[in-house]
Structure 1
Amino acid sequence: MVELKEYNILDDGEIDVILYKKSNGDALKDFSPEYKFHILLHESDIVIGHINFRLGDTEKILKYIGHIGYGIDEQYRGNKYAAKACKIIRKVAKEHGMEKVIITCNPDNYASRKTCETIGARFIEVVDIPETSDVYSLNETQKCRYEWEL
């Protein structure tokens, strides 16, 4: 079992990443251990998005949902906050002994693809999500896979 750590405020001087939930996961339900963070404007209480970090190398993580997932509220997009949050979360990944992570996104999510390129993640491929997967939906039938060496 993975030992989840405690994190206070992680920041880069422009945004803060604050842990609000962690989960040990549930192997029987194919849920991996995970950290969930809010992204805030630096030294404020204004939440502008979220970033999640999942541990483990299950097929679900490696092919469909990735180790890192993020979202920025619409009015704050265009400022590279997702890329900045990924760079902050790199510390968490390294503290868990990871040398690389997978990030996935929908093929038509150009902003997320740009985030992956901005942080230096390498495009691997586009994969089809099996209809039998709990990740599959009418809006999510494929994923772009990126590998980010830390």
Structure 2
Amino acid sequence: MKDIKLIKPSLLYQSTFLDFVKDVKESGYESYTNYVKAENNFYEFMNELIDMSEGVNIKEGWAPCSSYWLIDNNEEVIGVIRIRHRVDNDSLEMAGHIGYEIKSSKRKKGYGQRLLELGLIEARKIGLQKVLITCDEDNVASKRMIEKCKSKYKKSIFDEESGKNIIQYEVDTVYD
């Protein structure tokens, strides 16, 4: 795990990132929609990531959002975390500050936990002292990851769009 690191998106990792995107698509993650543009026009996708992180050209109702890629010692992208700089409307509250995915072949090996821990450090650098993290009520693995970060249960809410209960947790960005 010591060779795992979180990096800002880079053109150097285009091939391995696109492998990650393919895995997300094949795994049926709803978040695949975040990556469609990467498959069609990687350079435009990268420019949008930069704009989002800087708060430039953001769609109405969205918030600035910084993305990071988790890479292993083989320089393979094995995870992605997105950190919204604020949560200030109902839609963003449903999504929380942080969203993440781990490559299917790397699940249940501690990489997701490490991704979230490193992401909390980046959230602190952005200026967030506490973050709202949400997950589907039936996503046991994600619930465990969040709870291991000394989270505080906030509430469970019904998401009419997905038809699922969403659990909200509050997490300090600095913890032992």
Tell me the TM-score normalised to structure 1 length: 0.77
How far does residue 44 in structure 1 lie from its aligned partner after superposition? Answer: 2.4
SS at match of 1:146: strand
Alignment of 1:66 onto 2:109: no
The ranges of structure 1 where at least 4 consecutive aligned residues each deviate by more than 4 angstroms after the TM superposition are 25-28
Alignment of 1:93 onto 2:116: no
Tell me how far apart the structure 2 counterparts of residues 137 and 33 of structure 1 sit (CA, whole Å): 24
Q: Cα RMSD (Å) of the superposition?
A: 1.9
Aligned position for 2:168: 145
Deviations 1:123-150 (A, max 9, x none): 2111112x4xxxx235xx3211010012
Alignment counterpart, residue 151 of structure 2, candidates 121, 134, 137: 121
Which amino acid is 1:32 matched to? A
How far does residue 91 in structure 1 lie from its aligned partner after superposition? Answer: 2.3
Deviations 1:89-123 (A, max 9, x none): 22222222221001001111111001001111122
Alignment of 1:30 onto 2:30: no
SS at match of 1:108: coil
More strand by share: 1
Tell me how far apart the structure 2 counterparts of residues 15 and 28 of structure 1 sit (CA, whole Å): 33
More helix by share: 2
Mapped contact 2:117–2:149 kept (Cα < 8 A): yes
SS at match of 2:75: coil
Tell me how far apart the structure 2 counterparts of residues 104 and 137 of structure 1 sit (CA, whole Å): 14
Tell me the TM-score normalised to structure 2 length: 0.66
SS at match of 2:8: strand
Percentage of pairs with the same residue: 25
Aligned position for 1:81: 111
Unaligned runs of 5+ in 2: 10-48
SS at match of 1:71: strand
Tell me how far apart the structure 1 counterparts of residues 158 and 56 of structure 2 sit (CA, whole Å): 25
Which amino acid is 1:39 matched to? L
SS at match of 2:87: coil
SS at match of 1:29: coil
Work out the number of aligned pairs and report it.
130
Mapped contact 2:98–2:133 kept (Cα < 8 A): yes
